[in-house]
Structure 1
Amino acid sequence: MKEEISNLQITQLAKSIREKKVSPVEITKLFLNQIKEFNPQINAFITIMEKQALEDAKKAEKKLMNETYRGPLHGIPVGLKDLVFTKDIKTTMASPIYKNFIPKKNAAIVGKLKDAGAIIIGKLNTHQFAYGPTGDRSYYGPVKNPYDLNKMSGGSSSGSAAALAANMCLGAIGTDTAGSIRIPASFCGVVGMKPTYGLVSKRGVYPLSKTLDHVGPMTKSIEDNALFLNIIAGYDPLDFNSKKLETYPDYSKNINKSIKGVVIGIPQNFFFDNVDEEITKSIENSINLLKELGAIIVEIEIPNVQNHILEQQLILRSEAYTTHKQHLENPKNAWDEEVRMRLYTGEGISADSYIKAQEERVTTYYKFKKLFEKIDILISPTAAMLPPDIEQREINHGIFKGQHIRWPILRLTSLFNFIGFPAMSLPCGLSKNNLPIGVQLIGDMFQEQKLYQIGDALFKASNISERLKQKNLFR
């Protein structure tokens, strides 16, 4: 039973819960035991909410017995990145500054998950204050990759990806400012969606960069991810950045529909330059699979990509420094030195430079809107390199020799935070050393439904889920 249930997807397990074949209490106990067994090796959880999770599971079970089924997350154990405020439960941002911080209110997204019957099982480790793509700069120690414990999990939603990959929860919430959902999803072989900017409320989520931050779902399959987004998407009048749609689609609706005739753009510049050979080959295999499924492949040029990324970095540095200025000025505060020094790179940015970058952001947004009049989605690698060793910072061989690892990890994801378009990473292959490889799909604004349709077709055609199970140390 343990092996069978822990390897199921949400969509599969939800059916058994609804039919009362398994109970929320026994599922929650099973995953709590998984955490006790695996977390000491992975370090994905900062806080395990055992008492509250069991209480919530009993309530979920009682409602089920009274024929009150809340939907497909009813009784499903999920984890939250430890930037998401939880009432009366420690929320640390993986920093010693907040090691004893207990919020008085839940984040908006927590309310949505609880209303849907989800069991919040714990708070997940993160790169300190979510400011880094490596996942090895937390006050609570590095998160390890479930495919090789010496390798990075990716960041900053490191614990979210690793907990899923190691079967310690069935769904997780991450945040993404420059790639922090998609990078760990790629490194750990799971699915991560950065939704359209404003689609999911950020209220009650500790900010890094207020105009670049996104909140999104991480899961083991595309179907689960779409189901999760159905629950957490929606307008929040108390979140200034929240976008109100006339109707919110069922993001699962077009899954399993043919993708014959969809138009997929292949960037001919930047996105496939200086990419690890194994990653390039895996993405090419994905493109060939999409062709076999009936997709139309077109080559496109995207001008000035590197300039746009530099503008994104300027906004990020400026806003991150502003967010943390008061903490940096307090001499009593303890910091990870790498995070502290990176925050100080935003100290001297002028208002003029910041405003110009924000103006260019609007121009770039409309350029991409025009591009998507010709195509349905863009495709690229998620990261340009395979997961490096924990604590590695400089690359000493190959095409990245002499570079700091941050650039090849982040360079392919951050543009889509700059313009706010939805982007998703899904696993598409394994390296010769059995490390996961992710492919990134990017869509037009509010076109998550299309990303899920195309992504699911690719996910199933590649049979990647079974291949990942065979190589994962914890499944």
Structure 2
Amino acid sequence: VKDNIDIAGWPTTAACPEFSYVPAEDAAVVKRLRDAGAIPIGKGNLDQFATGLVGTRSPYGVARNAVAPGWLPGGSSSGSASSVAAGLCVFSLGTDTAGSGRVPAAFQELVGWKPTKGLLSTRGVVPACRSLDCVSVFANSVADAAVIMDVAAGFDVLDPYSRKIGVDKPAGRRIGVPKALDFSGDPDTPGLFADAVERLRSLGFETEEIDLTPFVEAAKLLYEGPWVAERWAAVGDFVAGKPDSVFPVTRRILEASQGWDAVATFRAQDKLREFARQAEQVWEAVDALLLPTTPCLYQVARVLEEPYQTNATLGRYTNFMNLLDLCAVAIPAGRARGGTVPWGVTLAARCGCDAALLEIAATFHGEAWERNPQGGIPVVVCGAHLEGLALHWQLADRGARLVSRTRTAPVYRMFAMPCEGNIPPRPALIRDETKGAAIEVEVWSLVPADFGDFVSKIPAPLGIGKVLLEDGKELPGFIAEPRAIEGAEEITALGAWRAFLGKSPSA
């Protein structure tokens, strides 16, 4: 987890030791993932206060590029990308305001998903540009990123920037490719990009040349316009009070942001709207864009010598995404420098097209696309179908996805039904408003066809009804007919089927 995202009880430093604090609560996105079974294993290094695309602006040192040592790891989510690329975890969380979830993915051969703004809550994240910030995901596959999307996405009423927006807007097969691109003289990336375009065509996508000018002009506003002052609004009081605790390059950028006034801000907003209107004409002709994630590649030593212009160059094709309200996914697209240094391309689409964009990315990446969407049907299980127990295979074989581990409302009694032939012991859940208690359960999600097949094979006296959870939701789940408790042992006081199995050697 990038160290500008809160984990309860763990210090959040934003790569500034004197800024460090220990949060009492998880960031909203971390909580959603932990509730679904994710286990945080560490915090990732970053460009201080998430200001940079390079991964070199941290008092903790430069995060190592796990694929190409000596070359940039990318930033600002450098440690998040390096941890996945090194095999330390299956996925990681970063943030992405200007490209911080995509540049490290390109440089370390990963998938980097930047969601639609407001799709994942940013509550519990140290702000960079609060109005533009996104929590991003690094993974080894598009399929893994899609799983995290389905778990982590959701409206958060406590986050003023959260949006009630879905991910399933359709996107077709018309891909826009810029007429002219500036690769800053890199000897390899132009050829790699041409190969990526040809790969899309070979996969059956239509390509259409587009004018990228309004997008590039919008990108310049992020650091050459008043949005950089939003960074000062976030951490300026701390920087002003403890300037010596801030990394020199970062401090210079933040202090320079104070010169913007209200008049300049409104003028810049007007310019952005003009560029957005021009970009809309492009979107009338295409469904997605294919872009270089970065124009070129840099070694760490080069960036340390010239930290400002190199960083600006890397953001040429990333900085406009959030200003223009787009979603994006970075994917590997070969290696440069004789096959030793990873590089990648980015697919971008309009807000809410995240799932369709990931499907295009999966096709490009050579993956089968079998997403279990948010439209799956939930099923609450409390006994032998719990993960790791005797009948869980009936869910696993149908591709069920874990949604959460939680408890029922305190209105249920639980009984242990004895074994019947080759059927293992199972609990019977009976609703009782007066003698009930909260019972531990898991919520799984099945696509409609698999849900119907699963339910049709449940033997009496069990069945599927509505189960009331502690958060007030009422979901389909296992319940029992009254006759199920005849001669059965009541185990309500244990509060969980696993507790009963641990107590009963014969179970």
For Structure 1 versus Structure 2, the TM-score category normalised by the shorter chain is 0.7 to 0.9
List runs of 5+ in structure 2 lacking aligned partners: 368-507
Paired AA for residue 164 in structure 1? V
Partner of 2:190: 280
Deviations 1:57-81 (A, max 9, x none): xxxxxxxxxxxxxxxxxxxxxxx10
CA distance in 1, matches of 2:38, 2:185: 39
Give the superposition deviation at 1:394.
4.8
Secondary structure of the corresponding residue to residue 40 of structure 2: strand
**How far is the alpha carbon of 1:441 from its aligned partner?**
0.7
1:424 to 329, 338, 353: 329
Partner deviation per Cα, 1:343-385 (whole Å, 9 max, x = no partner)? 1120111111112222333333343334222211111110011
Is residue 2:85 matched to residue 1:165? yes
Contact 2:215 / 2:275 at 8 angstroms: preserved in 1?
no
Does 2:2 match 1:81?
A: yes
Query: Residue type of the partner of 1:284?
Result: A
SS state at 1:149 partner: coil
Q: In structure 2, how many angstroms separate the alpha carbons of the residues matched to 1:263 and 1:307?
A: 23
Q: Does 2:207 align with 1:302?
A: no
Larger Rg: 2
Letter in 2 for 1:447: C
Deviation, 1:335, is 1.4
- Cross-structure match for 2:314: 409
Aligned positions of 1:33-432 closer than 5 A: 80-99=1-20, 101-245=21-165, 249=168, 262-269=173-180, 271-274=181-184, 276-313=186-223, 314-331=225-242, 334-390=245-301, 392-394=303-305, 404-431=309-336, 432=338
Using the TM superposition, give the Cα deviation of residue 122 of structure 1 relative to its aligned residue in structure 2, in angstroms: 1.1
Alignment partner, residue 459 of structure 1: 365
* 1:448 partnered with 2:358: no
Structure (1 or 2) with the greater helix fraction = 1
* Conservation of the 8 A alpha-carbon contact between 2:56 and 2:304: no
Distance 1:227 1:272 in 2: 35
C-alpha distance in structure 1 between counterparts of 2:241 and 2:108, whole Å = 36
* 1:369–1:444 CA contact under 8 A, matched in 2: no
Post-superposition offset of 1:147 = 2.0
Q: How far does the alpha carbon of each residue in 1:34-60 deviate from its partner, in whole angstroms, 9 at most, with x for none?
A: xxxxxxxxxxxxxxxxxxxxxxxxxxx
| Secondary structure at the counterpart of residue 378 of structure 1 | strand
Query: What is the number of equivalent residue pairs in this alignment?
Result: 366
User: Are the structure 2 counterparts of residues 140 and 86 from structure 1 closer, same or farther at C-alpha, using a change threshold of 3 Å?
Assistant: same
Q: Cα offset for 1:447?
A: 0.6
Query: Following TM superposition, by how much is the alpha carbon of 1:322 offset from its aligned partner in structure 2, in angstroms?
Result: 1.9
Contact 1:266 1:300 in 2 (8 A): yes
How high is the TM-score relative to the length of structure 1?
A: 0.73
Amino acid at match of 1:388: Q
Q: Secondary structure at the match of 1:217?
A: strand
Is this contact kept in 1: 2:53–2:76, CA < 8 A? Answer: yes
Structure 2 residue matching 1:443: 3-state secondary structure: strand
CA distance in 2: counterparts of 1:307 and 1:348, whole angstroms: 21
Q: In structure 1, how many angstroms separate the alpha carbons of the residues matched to 2:308 and 2:238?
A: 30
Partner Cα distance (2:208, 2:137) in 1: 29
How far did 1:202 drift?
Answer: 0.6
1:160/1:218 contact within 8 Å kept: yes
What is the deviation of 1:393? 3.9
Q: Which residue of 2 aligns with 1:13?
A: none
SS at match of 1:168: coil
* Pair 1:423–1:126, CA change in 2 (3 A): same
Deviations 1:282-333 (A, max 9, x none): 1111111111111111111133444322222223321112222211221475
CA contact (8 A) 2:64 2:73 kept: yes
Distance (whole Å) between structure 1 residues aligned to residue 237 and residue 111 of structure 2: 36
Contact 2:211 2:282 (C-alpha < 8 Å) held by counterparts:
no
Q: Is the 8 A contact 1:394 1:404 kept in 2?
A: no
Q: Which runs of 5+ in 1 are unaligned?
A: 1-79, 396-401, 462-475
1:451 maps to amino acid: L
Instruction: Provide closer, same or farther for how the CA distance between residues 403 and 330 of structure 1 changes in structure 2, counting only shifts above 3 A.
Output: closer
Name the % identity. Answer: 31
Residues 1:331 and 1:416: Cα distance change in structure 2 (over 3 Å): closer
Does the 8 Å contact 2:174/2:207 carry over to 1?
A: yes
Q: Secondary structure at the match of 1:159?
A: helix
C-alpha displacement at 1:430, in angstroms? 0.6
Q: For the residues of structure 2 that align with 1:458 and 1:151, how far apart are their CA atoms?
A: 25
User: What's the secondary structure of 1:416's corresponding residue?
Assistant: coil
